[in-house]
Amino acid sequence: MQEYLQRNETSCVALVEEYLSRSEKLSSLNAFVTVLAARARAQAQRVDAKITTGHVGKLAGCIIAVKDLLALKGERLTCGSRILENFISSYDATAITRLEQAGAIIIGKTNMDEFAMGSSNENSAFGPVKNPRNEAYVPGGSSGGSAVAVAAHMAMAALGSDTGGSVRQPAALTGVVGLKPTYGRVSRWGLVAFASSLDQVGVFANAVEDAARVLEVIAGVDERDSTSAPVAVPQYAQLLTGEIRGKVIGLPKEYLSSGVQPEILAAIARAKLLLEKGGATLKEVSLPHTQHAIAAYYVICTAEASSNLARYDGAHYGRRAQNVNSLEELYVKSRSEGFGPEVKRRIMLGTYVLSSGYYDAYYRRAMKVRTLIRRDFEQAFQQCDALLTPTTPTTAFKLGEKVSDPLTMYLSDIFTVSMNLAGVPAR
Ligand code: GLN
């Protein structure tokens, strides 16, 4: 890309027009909540001007879409919710600042499950997103719009957030690369919180190298996010040598059970062969507490969500109910009108598991399970360098197929939530 730009064979301004017209042509996929045409054009002009003076940022001319729960100054920040439908952000997220400083062009804000709660993108107040490979199918969620923007080439890369699989699962269901970095690797300043002990900004791209280049730019400590890790950022892209000789790859036996769709098992078998051919050794390992991961995740994430979402009360942020006679009525009506059914379900569940008398039985117990899950990974990584697992138990499912059965929907996260509970990176 950058060679074309430097050789003057194209310009950022021309690229932006091309991508804008492509997203207009593919608008039936419903990947974007807001297309940032003016912001993208202005940034393209700035980057073109810099290229003529020889100052090329690491991501100069890279067209990037971002999930609509990252803040961009002066732009709408909906989180896929009616409650924030008209909310305008007053500042930029750190990840956005870093992307734009590196010359990237933010093309739009992508559709998502409301407040990042969902696995199919059917929980958005702005309608479902469709899978570009077959529009009758879901793209996964909650960062479905970001996955589709990349899969349908409406952006070269995209940012999403991953609390329990929301980058990896939609990436798997649309056939692109999705990376959830280590907890603390990327600043969450300007990322709307869902479950703060699990949330992490992640990257979508069509190639591993592109994801590495984006991560290089957005990663690193940030004084505005005390949970960001003060750890030096490697040149990830340069480290992608393809060399795996001598590496030990663990296959967790709990992830390859009979519940997994045969196509997925076949893909794992192919990956195994490729790794062996490259000189790696494969070894069976065990993550024995895997079976409790979904239960622990849905206690912890709902507990944290019930607290994080308390701020949307009609007084401080977003939608404010009309014709109310008391403060309590303002809270109740604003929240009842503003939140969709899945968000309400999680707030109720989270409030319940934290309530007096139930805290020990649910929340505290889930936190103990979380410790055991983290320990499983620590022990596995004493025997191997990396793990090979399926991302999802099934390939993409049909729109409407699981909406009336939240438990079945939650099970599509069965192979992703453990990594968030443990804080480890995954793709
Ligand atoms: N699908 C999971 C959930 O509904 C994960 C969401 C996420 O990672 N944001 O909670």
Q: Of 111, 142, 349, which is best to mutate to test ligand 1, by the most ligand atoms within 8 angstroms of its C-beta? A: 142
pLDDT at 6 exceeding the cut of 80: no
Q: Once rounded to an integer, what is the mean pLDDT over residues 249-258?
A: 92
Instruction: Tell me the mean pLDDT in the region 30-48.
Output: 97
Average pLDDT over residues 370-391: 98
Average pLDDT, the chain: 96
Report pLDDT digits (tens) over 19-29: 999 999 999 99
Looking from the CA of residue 420, the nearest atom of ligand 1 is 8
Residue with tokens 């409407």: 400
pLDDT at 1: 60
Higher pLDDT, 2 or 118: 118
Asked if the model's pLDDT at residue 94 lies above 80, the reply is yes
Alpha carbons 216 and 143: distance in angstroms, whole number: 21
Per-residue 3-state assignment (H helix, E strand, C coil) for 371-415: HHHHHHHHHHHHHCCEECCCCCCCCCCECCCCCCCHHHHHHCCCC
pTM value > 0.95: yes
Instruction: Say yes or no: CB of residue 416 within 6 Å of ligand 1.
Output: no
Q: State both tokens at 62.
A: 């890279």
Rounded CA gap, 314 and 292, in Å?
Answer: 37
At residue 252, the 3 state secondary structure works out as: strand
pLDDT in tens, 279-324: 999 999 999 999 999 999 999 999 999 999 999 999 998 999 999 9
Residues in the chain, how many?
Answer: 427
What is the distance in A from the centroid of ligand 1 to the CA of 161? 9
pLDDT of residue 409: 93
For ligand 1, the distance from its centroid to the CA atom of residue 115, given in whole angstroms, is 9
Torsion of CA 206, 257, 249, 281, to 10 degrees: -120
| Percent share of the chain, pLDDT over 90 | 94
Q: Once rounded to an integer, what is the mean pLDDT over residues 70-99?
A: 98
Which residues are known to be catalytic? Answer: 67, 142, 166
What is the DSSP-derived secondary structure letter of residue 292? Answer: G
pLDDT at 240: 96
Q: How far is Cα 376 from Cα 255, in angstroms, rounded to an integer?
A: 13
Rounded to the nearest angstrom, the distance between the alpha carbon of 165 and the centre of ligand 1 is 6
165 pocket-lining for ligand 1 (C-beta < 6 Å): yes
Q: Report the share of the chain in percent with pLDDT over 70.
A: 99
Residue 371 one-letter amino acid: T
Cα dihedral 73/118/151/193 (nearest 10): 30
Q: What is the mean pLDDT of residues 209-234?
A: 98
